[in-house]
Amino acid sequence: MGTDISQKDDDKVGGQKFVISKGSRANIKSSHIDGQFTDIGLTSGNGDPVMAIVIFAADELSFVQRMGHDIRAMYDHDGHISVNCGEGKPFPGGPTCFFRGEVVSALITSSTKGSITSEILRKAFERLDGVGIYDQTQGRRTMALVDAHDSRL
């Protein structure tokens, strides 16, 4: 699913409603900067989520772009960066899936147009191999079914 982070002309913030006085308008800041990205959900044959892939339209991503930034979380200035990463921390990371007893973190990456490339697909399979959720017995054939636009893969 491809989308854009610009909220210009949205008139809503995540479907929230705001209480304001009659005849006035809610003054809510939102991003008007274009930022295309693609979300891809990898699922097993029975539909269980395996891994998320988020591809931003960019040449490269900064640490904050890869890890996200929760401005509501307190930053520990005395601790190492790892102390500030994870759920409920300033840098929460991307979405995770729990599959076959393992936590599989999202692949957060970029391409010039924000779409999947063969290199990104290779990185996704390498990530899955590294987690070890699929049997790698010698002689067994591994299979992946890819359903995408004819022009892309």
Q: Which pLDDT does position 99 carry in this prediction?
A: 93
Domain membership flag for residue 144: no
**Average predicted confidence (pLDDT) for the chain:** 79
Mean pLDDT to the nearest integer, 11-38: 66
Domain membership flag for residue 9: no
Domain membership flag for residue 126: yes
Q: Which pLDDT does position 153 carry in this prediction?
A: 45
Domain membership flag for residue 67: yes
Domain residue limits at 64: 34-131
Q: Percent of the chain scored above 90 by pLDDT?
A: 14
Question: For the segment 59-92, what is each residue's pLDDT rounded down to a tens digit?
Answer: 888 887 788 777 788 888 887 888 888 888 888 8
Close Cβ partners of 133 (under 8 Å, ≥ 6 residues apart): 50, 99, 100, 102, 104
Domain membership flag for residue 46: yes
pLDDT at 105 over 80: yes
Question: For the segment 120-138, what is each residue's pLDDT rounded down to a tens digit?
Answer: 999 999 999 888 888 778 8
Higher model confidence: residue 58 or residue 98? 98
Domain membership flag for residue 119: yes
Mean pLDDT to the nearest integer, 23-36: 65
pLDDT at 2 over 90: no
Q: Could you give the number of structural domains in the chain?
A: 1
The H-or-E segment that residue 40 falls in is: strand 36-43
Domain membership flag for residue 122: yes
Domain membership flag for residue 112: yes
Close Cβ partners of 78 (under 8 Å, ≥ 6 residues apart): none
